[in-house]
Amino acid sequence: MFKPSLTLLAALATSTLPLPTAANDYPVGPGCFWRNDSGPTDLILRIPDTLYVESTQADGSLIGGQSYNLRATAASPSHWKCYNRDSDTPVINTLTVDALQPPAVLNATASGGGNRTLPPADKIRQTSVPGIGAAIDWGSRFSGGNADSFDANGPAMAPFVAQQRLRRAHDIGFIPNQFWVVHLVKTGPLEPGRYRLDPGQKQFSSRLSPFAGQISDLWEMGLSAEIVVTGCGTAPTPISPNPVDLGSHDLASFAQGSYTPAVPFTLNLTGCLKPPAGSVLGIYVQLDPAEGSAPLDPDSGLFSLGHGATAQNVGVQMLRADARTPMPLARKERMNTVADGDLALGFNARLAKLADPVKAGKVQAALKFTVTYE
């Protein structure tokens, strides 16, 4: 007997099932996972206050004379957690922190200045401002001192690698809530002016190699700071006039110990920037004979003629702007205080008879001017 049959076709839909999540929106592991897929992220370390540094501050010293303990900001928090379900068998997580900029080239070996020591030279990286380097210290959290903490293979300053022996569920926490110590280092010349570290130039990044889970790249970090370099720049014509013409003089006009009339000239500084309110920055000038000239009486500003001179028994005396007060040689002398704008420092020079007989001839002498700020 013919028996009708019924063939039933069932369409089976395939799907990828997510890992179950706990009430706090993490997969339950084992492994390392983002909370709500919140990472990776861009971080910015912002120094909130304007930093001031003198243009003549020693290369290799800390900007502002100190380091800065900062919490990062991010467009959105990144929260991650690692789980090890077998508490008797530790697993290894490896964290690699990379420096994204080349090493800064220090022009000098520095003491660090301020109340902190200078970071190791290979940890100081170039920033967006030539002459300023940066190092980031991750601090004690990566010293391996606590259970399940990361243990760095040296100072926890980028670049470095740290490992974690995880025995239990470990909550790393919100990345922006962690504190970093920022060291800004003067690595080379800085002309007076206002500078800003560009947070868009990423300085450091980190990535995790977990024993299991979804995490790889964690974050990239930029730095933001406003830095004012105080002091003055040198004008295109630093000495005016140069050379200083001390005039032509009759030999009969010289008597023992006599001087010729003083001739004024200026040392020209430009683009000066003063320090913050409540601070005063002094301008100091040191004069040193050069090109064959030598000090004769430094306290009275008297020095000898130099290369190319043929006149004999005469020297040159330096005076301050009043044309009466001697300008000493070979030591710093305070001349003024820094104010915003351009500044001309006044000096005078004159010939001085040293002994008899004065012999006619060419007068040639030279000085080196060194300007510092304190």
pLDDT tens digits along 305-329 = 999 999 999 999 999 999 999 999 9
**pLDDT mean over 162-179:** 65
Give the Å distances, CA to CA, from 179 to 45, 71, 209: 10, 5, 22
Q: CB of 327 within 8 A of CB of 287?
A: yes
> How many Å separate Cα 287 from the centre of its chain?
29
Calculate ∠ Cα 326-328-332, nearest 5°: 135
Q: What pLDDT, in 10s, does the model give residues 178-222?
A: 788 999 999 999 999 999 999 999 999 988 886 666 678 888 899
User: Where exactly does CATH 2.60.40.1090 map onto the chain?
Assistant: 241-373
278 has a pLDDT exceeding 50 = yes
What pLDDT is attached to residue 28? Answer: 58
**pLDDT mean over 250-268:** 86
Instruction: Dihedral sign for Cα 146, 149, 154, 158, please.
Output: negative
d(CA 114, CA 37): 42
* % of the chain residues with pLDDT over 70: 79
Q: Which of 321, 317, 337 is nearest to 329 (CA)?
A: 317
Across 247-256, 272-281, 338-347, least confident range: 247-256
Q: Which residue has the higher pLDDT, 11 or 51?
A: 51
342 has a pLDDT exceeding 70 = yes
**pLDDT mean over 2-31:** 45
Residues 6+ apart with CB under 8 A from 95: 142, 150, 161, 162, 163, 164, 206, 207, 208, 209, 218
User: Where exactly does CATH 2.60.40.3310 map onto the chain?
Assistant: 31-230
d(CA 222, CA 45): 6
The identity of residue 365, as a single letter, is: A
- Looking at every residue in the chain, the average pLDDT score rounds to 82
108 has a pLDDT exceeding 80 = no
d(CA 45, CA 223): 5
* CATH no. of 31-230: 2.60.40.3310
**pLDDT mean over 123-152:** 82
Q: Cis peptide before 189, with omega less than 30 degrees from 0?
A: no
CATH of 241-373, picked from 2.40.40.20, 2.60.40.1090, 1.10.3720.10, 1.10.10.10, is 2.60.40.1090
What pLDDT is attached to residue 344? Answer: 95
d(CA 72, CA 223): 9
**pLDDT mean over 120-128:** 92
* 26 band by pLDDT with thresholds 50, 70 and 90: low
pTM for this model (two decimals):
0.75
What pLDDT is attached to residue 32? Answer: 78
**3-class secondary structure, 123:** helix
What pLDDT is attached to residue 35? Answer: 72
The string of DSSP letters for 27-90 reads B--SEEEEGGG---EEEEEE--SPEEEETTSPTTSBGGGS-EEEE-EESS--EEEEE-S-TTS-
Across 10-19, 147-156, 160-169, 349-358, least confident range: 10-19
- Count how many residues are written for the chain: 374
* 37 band by pLDDT with thresholds 50, 70 and 90: low
